[in-house]
């Protein structure tokens, strides 16, 4: 989900998990209308990773922080330990379990936050601009982790709210928000080929798509390339 500041992206995410009350209309999650009677059950099936990694920690160690949600759901201690170890390893943070979160880099903090969400085994994970405050390496690491999560668990729905056009281009579907409305929806190719709408909401076209278009103008067809590495390989052929 892409759009400029104030377009309604984060507001929509908070409405989905009930952090903000709706003013009108209805919200359906898993074909069930969200209300005060089922909000707790729905939240068990949705995880969210926020923008600022420093605002997501409440425990003294990485291990305790990953375990926090499990403790709230009264998971047995032995089971909890296994789950914490499993997901810390998945995100590459097992060696840091006894570390204080304050001593981690931004990218490492987001990895811990993701491990805590994964430990709850949700059906949906929302990344609310989770890479926007990270340096290029941290951003790349988290982006690659999200791609890996999707490959390893095809049934998992990942909603990434982002300003990063290049990141959005890697998704299965793109939603463009403007002034609280969904103004465009489709595959990355469909959305980013609609230059009229993108110009109206002041969004640019991904570099990869621009390159494909320029190459096509000189007779090089590179539509199959899904990333810059594949594009370079096609050109070299």
> Which residues neighbour 57 within 8 Å (Cβ) at sequence distance 6 or greater?
65, 101, 102, 109, 112, 113
How far apart CA 237 and CA 228 sit, in angstroms, is 14
- Taking Cα atoms as reference points, which of 202, 172, 203, 207 lies closest to residue 190? 172
pLDDT per residue rounded down to tens, the chain (237 residues): 999 888 999 999 999 998 898 888 899 998 999 998 999 899 889 999 988 878 878 888 999 999 998 988 888 988 999 999 999 998 889 999 999 988 998 889 988 998 999 899 899 999 998 888 788 888 888 888 888 888 888 889 999 998 888 888 889 999 999 999 999 999 998 998 898 998 898 888 888 888 888 888 888 887 777 777 788 887 777
Evaluate whether 53 touches 132 at the Cβ level (below 8 Å): no
- Does domain 9-188 bear CATH number 3.30.70.141? no
pTM listed for this prediction:
0.84
């Amino acid at each position: 989900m892409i759009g400029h500041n104030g377009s309604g992206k984060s507001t929509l995410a908070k409405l989905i998990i009930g952090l903000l009350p709706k003013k009108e209309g209805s919200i359906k999650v898993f074909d069930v209308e969200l209300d005060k009677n089922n909000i707790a059950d729905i939240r068990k099936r949705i995880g969210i990773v926020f923008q600022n990694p420093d605002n997501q920690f409440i425990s003294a160690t990485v291990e305790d922080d990953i375990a926090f949600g499990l403790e709230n759901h009264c998971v047995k201690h032995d089971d909890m330990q296994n789950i914490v170890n499993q997901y810390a390893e998945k995100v590459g943070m097992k060696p840091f379990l006894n570390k204080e979160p304050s001593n981690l880099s931004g990218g490492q903090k987001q990895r811990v936050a993701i491990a805590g969400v994964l430990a709850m085994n949700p059906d949906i994970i929302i990344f609310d601009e989770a890479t926007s405050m990270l340096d290029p390496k941290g951003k790349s690491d988290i982006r690659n982790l999200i791609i890996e999560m999707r490959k390893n668990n095809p049934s998992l729905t990942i909603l990434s709210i982002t300003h990063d056009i290049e990141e959005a281009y890697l998704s299965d579907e793109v939603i463009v928000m403007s002034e609280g409305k969904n103004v465009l929806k489709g595959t990355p190719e469909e959305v980013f080929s609609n230059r009229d709408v993108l110009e109206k909401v002041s969004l640019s076209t991904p570099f990869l798509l621009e390159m494909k278009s320029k190459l096509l103008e000189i007779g090089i067809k590179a539509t199959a390339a899904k990333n810059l590495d594949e594009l370079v390989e096609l050109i070299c052929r």
